[in-house]
Amino acid sequence: MEYYNYIKSLHLIFVITWFAGLFYIPRLFIYHIEANDKPEPDKSILSKQLQLMTKRLWFIITWPSAILATLFAVILLVLQPVWLQQPWMHVKLTFVVLLIIYHLKTHQMFKQLQRNEVKYTSNFMRIWNEGATLILFAVIFLVILKSAFNWIFGVIGIIVLGILLMLGIKLYKRIRNKNPEA
């Protein structure tokens, strides 16, 4: 148990870097998708550069962080198995499973864009980018509030946050359509 706080610290560090990668990679996807609409040689130059940037972010930061965050989480659960009996931990682990699914789907999108296969719009990617945000909010509130968490207000809060994020995306789209340089 003397190493518990070190392991917890490492877990948090890698959760933060994992989310940093998950927040930034869809932004690079957006740039890549929008580069497809540019004339040559801009399209080829931008696509090549964005593929390199996403590859480095994905394999040097995001994947290693995901693996290490998960490894340290498992170690923490082994050291504190009583947490597995807590209802809030069951909900948190459900969100972690959703995060892993989100990560794997993002990996699929990454592979497609590495082949220059554009299957999504930049607007879809802006919405997709908010998935990690919703999961992060849910997990942080669960961990901090634990059993004091009122589930009704929590669900309502996540829904309101989702609505606000979608309204923000729509507002940004309007501003961008009026001013393409934005």
**pLDDT for residue 12:** 96
**pLDDT for residue 45:** 95
| Domains in the chain: boundaries | 4-178
**pLDDT for residue 125:** 94
pLDDT mean by block of 10 residues, the chain; 182 residues: 91 97 96 94 94 97 98 96 88 92 98 95 91 88 72 71 79 76 62
Q: What is the b/e burial string over 6-28, where b = at least 16 CB atoms within 10 angstroms of the residue's CB?
A: ebbebbeebbebbbebbebbbeb
Give the annotated binding-site residues: 11, 92
**pLDDT for residue 149:** 55
Give the annotated binding-site residues for heme: 11, 92
Cβ burial of 113 (10 Å; 0-12, 13-18, 19+) is buried
* pLDDT tens profile 25-65: 999 999 999 999 999 999 999 999 999 999 999 999 999 99
Give whole-number Cα distances, 135 to 21, 95, 138, in Å: 14, 6, 5
User: Residues of the chain with pLDDT > 70: what percent?
Assistant: 93
Q: What is the residue-averaged pLDDT of the chain?
A: 89
Radius of gyration of the chain (CA): 19
**Coil, helix or strand at residue 56:** helix
